[in-house]
Structure 1
Amino acid sequence: MIKKTLLPVFVGCYLFFFTSCQENELGPTQNPATDGSLDALALDVVELLNESDAYHPVISTLEQEPVGISLSDLLFSIDINSKSGSISRLQAAAKAAEDHLKVEVAPDKVEIPELWLHKPNGLSVISKSDLLVAYPPAGDETEWNHIKAYTMDKKVVYLDPAKAPDVPVVVIEKYGFQAFKQEAIYMNKMLKEAGLQKEESFRDLAEARMTSTGLETTILDKIRLNDDQEPWILGSAEIYAITSGIRNDNNEAEIAVIPMYYLDKEGKTYYPNQILLFWDDYAYQAANIQLFEKDGNHNYQELVSTLVNEVTALVGSLSGKPWITALGKIGAAIVEALPDSFWTNDDDYVDSYYTIEKTSTYTDYYGAGGNAKASMRPYFVPAN
């Protein structure tokens, strides 16, 4: 885990946390780009935590939801009597996000306000006097110099984006775990509409897709990442797999996006028991599994559109070539279809498993980049 420290910032005097030297804003050359809506929400969260009957329910809920909880679900789960302006504003923000997703046409960006708790290792009790409320800066994460945070009396302090602090922090964001779940649904829908995914998708275990005896798959028993690419303020890593294989004799591609919600920290081994490959989707007994990390502020629609264009153009040139050649080129095209210019915070390429075979077992098997180590095996799902 990352060592946790606070960053003192020079702003006319040295600003040390919890001293009498106060500063409300950094100068123009020092102040990181901020998201105004998140800044307002952060102040409302501070007010919420200062409600006498809200602090303990909120903190207790966040401790039970380490990857984060939507603002809507949090407000629904806590029982408080206050009708303060901050609670009304938080409720309005949650409702606006929900309404934005009810439209028939998928939005360009999925924004769902959510909160999660950064709790330093070894900390058993969260003291209100130590608690901060923060949010991710806007802009390219490689250019982040400081992270703006509020104390419980609304004083501003600045945190180091590269080192997680030694104090607890409630983080509010819009492009986190909850938004990622919805984006994955939209991405698979777009792939299906583009003809790169069968009408009955890999997620369906419907009887219609079963053979008379069952379904042949490859299951992920164990996985560990050496580096999940995620700055601490962005919380749990949103890791997803893009699987690809050959659908037919024309070397047409079958592609799917599979969220890996559990895979949120580097250097930790997970035992997900998750099916990654459904062999009924492919004409041949090998497929690719490539891992990526979703970072916020990207346009997932543009990502899928570019992926579709790259793969469709490539597959047109692969007809008649050996299928194993086509499989390798499709895997390479998926990585090449992810240019940095599409994101403010780029989706990070994590690792690739090329040519995973249907009948093979892989134990502590490293990806091509050496960043992921996984154990996979054939798994048969019997029919009912």
Structure 2
Amino acid sequence: MRFPRILFAGIIASTVMSSCSNSEELNYQSESGLLNVDQQVNKKEVALELIDLMKNQSFKTKTLHLLENQEPSVPLSKVLDESASFVGKSTSYQNLATKASKLESFANEGTPDKIEILELWMLNSNKTKDFSNVLFSFAPEGDEKNWSVIEAYNMNKEVVYLDVNKVPDQPVIVVETNGFETLKREVALMNEYLRKEGVQNSRFEKLGNNLSDLNSRAQGLETTKLDKIRLNDDEEAWISGAAEVYAITSGIKDSSNSPEIKVIPMYYLDHDKRDYYPNQILLFWDDYEYQAANIQLFEKDDNTNYKDLVSTIVNGVFQIIGTVSTQPWVNVLGQVAGAIIQAMPNSWYTNNDDYVDSFYTIEKNKSYSNYYGARGNAKVNLSPFFVASN
């Protein structure tokens, strides 16, 4: 099971992003059928072609090794690249390589409305080393509440129907298009939009989130870092896999009550009922005029367009921002956090970006131990952390 994929969310800002009007950009129609404006990647087709390749013992051994030793997922392009010498001339290999390449190129060129990158992950609940009965599957489309069974295929391409809620005993290789790699690209684009709209400084653009980069600054930094985090059970289907988690932090950056916003991915945070110790910086206090900031949590799911998400929150927040320039900053901090929640889609709990929890008014120079969010769904340890200059 996975828990909700998180956003540490705060204020998001500015004008509606323009959508892509050139349908040819979204029309990657190969001879085997890939993606067009009205059609998602055919994951069943990918699974069946993968089965063809897995009949080659060398390919199977290499692929299983990759899936056993890399979490939460492995890009399909990496699987294919490392096994090209085994099956590179086969039709299935060429079809899959074309699909994977086109999707990755599409995701990395410009600002596409929808990002999908083919990845694989493996469920092996019993930690078996016997993969003779391995299955191949993919998450159904649509609202998770309406899923009745999970469709899977064995090595003979025979259909096997699995229980939505009961984790299967045998290993299952899952085709994913909205996983870890997709998250990385979406986060990069969201931060790019925020910088363009003037609600994020260039710290991440120049430095990323690496302490080694931060140490190269001429002066030290006062920050707050996440020492520990744990989430409760989300009661979602096993086929949804590990969470793709990112964070948006927010604060007030000047006397006009203007927002400062960052999106921070949390790639390590992929299962519920488990403690994680990331030692990850979340708040950069130099970015804020005042010594408090909000942290809000959401789940990133497959059916929400990242542009639509940012645009919706932007519009909701700016309706508030236009009326609060003369109010006390601490009031504004709370109002903006509320505006974000109000702006989110009504379909939070139908496999969209789901609201998980909120941490309001996190203070500079203050430690928080086993600190629950407002909903009691997330528990964190936070501590002040000074990054000294070299």
Conserved 8 A contact 1:289-1:354: yes
Give the secondary-structure state (helix, strand or coil) at the position aligned to 1:378.
strand
State the match for 2:181 in structure 1: 178
1:198-257 deviation line (CA, Å, top 9, x unaligned): 2444873767995x6400000001110013565311211112222111011111111111
Instruction: Say yes or no: does 1:192 pair with 2:198.
Output: no
The alpha-carbon deviation at position 342 of structure 1 amounts to 8.5
Alignment size in residue pairs = 349
1:270-312 deviation line (CA, Å, top 9, x unaligned): 0000000001111000001112221113111011011111112
Instruction: Say yes or no: does 1:100 pair with 2:106.
Output: yes
Map 1:352-371 → 2, pairs under 5 A? 352-371=358-377
CA distance in 2, matches of 1:225, 1:152: 36
Map 1:243-262 → 2, pairs under 5 A? 243-262=249-268
TM-score scaled by length of structure 2: 0.84
Candidates 263, 285, 293, aligned match of 2:291: 285
Instruction: Say yes or no: does 1:111 pair with 2:116.
Output: yes
State the match for 1:340 in structure 2: 346
Which deviates further from its counterpart, 220-229 or 316-325? 220-229
The alpha-carbon deviation at position 163 of structure 1 amounts to 2.2
CA distance in 2, matches of 1:207, 1:153: 53
State the match for 2:142 in structure 1: 139
CA distance in 1, matches of 2:120, 2:281: 29
Which deviates further from its counterpart, 254-263 or 156-165? 156-165
Structure 1: where are the runs of 5+ without partners?
Answer: 3-33
CA distance in 1, matches of 2:184, 2:123: 21
Map 1:70-85 → 2, pairs under 5 A? 70-78=75-83, 80-82=85-87, 83-85=89-91
Conserved 8 A contact 2:215-2:387: no
Give the secondary-structure state (helix, strand or coil) at the position aligned to 2:365.
coil
State the match for 2:30 in structure 1: none
The alpha-carbon deviation at position 79 of structure 1 amounts to 5.3
CA distance in 2, matches of 1:329, 1:229: 31
Structure 2: where are the runs of 5+ without partners?
Answer: 3-38
The alpha-carbon deviation at position 40 of structure 1 amounts to 0.6
Conserved 8 A contact 1:239-1:294: yes
Conserved 8 A contact 1:229-1:293: no
CA distance in 2, matches of 1:172, 1:73: 14
CA distance in 2, matches of 1:144, 1:188: 34
Q: Percent identity?
A: 47
Give the secondary-structure state (helix, strand or coil) at the position aligned to 1:332.
helix
CA distance in 2, matches of 1:113, 1:207: 33
Instruction: Say yes or no: does 1:349 pair with 2:352.
Output: no
CA distance in 2, matches of 1:35, 1:213: 48
State the match for 1:56 in structure 2: 61
> Computing the radius of gyration over CA atoms, which structure comes out larger, 1 or 2?
1
CA distance in 1, matches of 2:191, 2:46: 31
1:44 partner amino acid: E
Give the secondary-structure state (helix, strand or coil) at the position aligned to 1:319.
coil
CA distance in 2, matches of 1:289, 1:377: 14
The Cα RMSD (Å) is 2.2
TM-score scaled by length of structure 1: 0.86
Give the secondary-structure state (helix, strand or coil) at the position aligned to 2:245.
strand
CA distance in 2, matches of 1:146, 1:344: 17
State the match for 1:19 in structure 2: none
Candidates 46, 49, 52, aligned match of 2:51: 46
CA distance in 1, matches of 2:214, 2:229: 30
1:143-192 deviation line (CA, Å, top 9, x unaligned): 11111110110000111222221111000011111111110111111112
Instruction: Say yes or no: does 1:276 pair with 2:279.
Output: no
